[in-house]
Amino acid sequence: MTIKNSEPGSGRKGLPPIAYILLAVLAFAAWRLLLPQLKLHSSLQPTLPGLPAGPSAAPGASAPPAGLSFARLASVPAGTTVAIDGSTSMVLINEALKAGFQRAYPGATVQTAAVGSDNGLQGLLVGDITLAAISRPLTSAEQGQGLVAVPVAQDSIAIVVGVANPFRRGLSRNQTVQIFRGEINNWATLGGSDGPIRVYNRPSVSGTRAAFRTVVLGGGEFGTNSTITTLARDATTPMLRLLGTDGIGYATYAQVADQQTVRVLPIDGVTPEAQSYPFQRPLFYVYREPASEAVKAFLGFAFSPEGKARVQSAVKGP
């Protein structure tokens, strides 16, 4: 059997050049039509001190519904009440915005508490509070319940020891991971005095614990040896009092920056106030759709120039 080669030019011919030109013109026109919508979506992402702009800056943040933005209001109805609960890492931000909001709107009241991110979210879901203040991203399940997370600021997680601890060095990132996984449990391994490292971990309701597990441990688990203690309550001050001469723990930097009883350890030679510090995470306010008038009023103040200045001051610490 003989197989004949196809002759040049046989078979289906390609599109004429004019067709490719028309397709290119149509593609460009479609891009120009979509560009304004893309810019609008980007403009709905509020930004506050220490947090880069854009949706990718804070994984787990949710874009406000289309058409909703938070602008400062000239006035709010007398008797307006905003109840906030959640992360202990947000205490200074909450109090700073509370003072400014109540001063701007004399008839309004802001109530604050701090019982942990998870507890705050539960309070929001059952309608007990107006806003949850959280120090971890929302899960997809939480977003599916109508919760919207708005990034507030970028925060550093500080590693702390007691001021009387004889260990005077910093830690590497890898050493920090090994300590909280229970793989390093003696100060001598780090160049310090011989003695056990007592690790103080936060409870499971803590957003800072969840963020630490993601940012520091890379999603790994905390250790469970006898030298690691999980606290019953998510509170920073009691943990700091337990550190003594051989303990180590972690907290939002603003809460420990001016503490006289503890010392913050540099990580890879970098301290928490530096832009290059490795252990950073975003903080969020969360509301339930649809946003109430109280939510719009408070977040409008938070995103105003005065609100941003107050947040910036709170993030730096007292």
Region 144-165 average pLDDT: 96
Dihedral sign, CA of 166, 168, 170, 174?
A: negative
Least confident of 34-48, 202-216, 269-283, 293-307: 34-48
Q: Which residue has the higher pLDDT, 83 or 28?
A: 83
Residues 6+ apart with CB under 8 A from 201: 180, 209, 222, 228, 229, 230, 231, 249
Q: Kindly give the residue spans of alpha helices, DSSP state H, lying in the chain.
A: 17-43, 91-104, 117-125, 140-144, 173-180, 207-215, 236-242, 253-256, 293-302, 305-316
Q: Which residues pair with 27 in a beta bridge?
A: none
When pLDDT is cut at 50, 70 and 90, the band that residue 65 belongs to is low
DSSP letter at 144?
H
Note the pLDDT of residue 193: 94
Note the pLDDT of residue 69: 75
pLDDT of 39 over the 60 cut: no
Q: What Cα–Cα distance (Å) separates residue 66 from each residue in 69, 85, 150, 253, 290?
A: 8, 26, 14, 35, 12
pLDDT of 7 over the 60 cut: no
Note the pLDDT of residue 291: 95
pLDDT of 9 over the 90 cut: no
Note the pLDDT of residue 203: 95
Note the pLDDT of residue 316: 80
Note the pLDDT of residue 35: 43
Radius of gyration of the chain (CA): 26
Note the pLDDT of residue 43: 37
**Peptide bond before 17: cis, by omega within 30 degrees of 0?**
no
Average predicted confidence (pLDDT) for the chain: 85
Note the pLDDT of residue 315: 87
Neighbours of 9 (CB within 10 A): 6
pLDDT of 11 over the 60 cut: no
Note the pLDDT of residue 48: 46
Neighbours of 30 (CB within 10 A): 10
Q: Domains in the chain, start-ordered, CATH in brackets?
A: 70-154+282-316 (3.40.190.10), 156-264 (3.40.190.10)
When pLDDT is cut at 50, 70 and 90, the band that residue 117 belongs to is very high
When pLDDT is cut at 50, 70 and 90, the band that residue 107 belongs to is very high
End-to-end CA distance of the chain: 92
* Strand, helix or coil for residue 205: coil
Tell which residue, 178, 149, 161, 175, has the closest CA to residue 281.
Answer: 149
When pLDDT is cut at 50, 70 and 90, the band that residue 224 belongs to is very high
Tens digits of residue pLDDT in 16-37: 656 555 556 555 555 454 444 4
DSSP H/E element including 77: none
What is the CB-side half-sphere exposure of residue 224 using CA atoms within 13 A? 2
DSSP letter at 303?
T
pLDDT of 57 over the 50 cut: no
Least confident of 62-76, 220-234, 237-251: 62-76
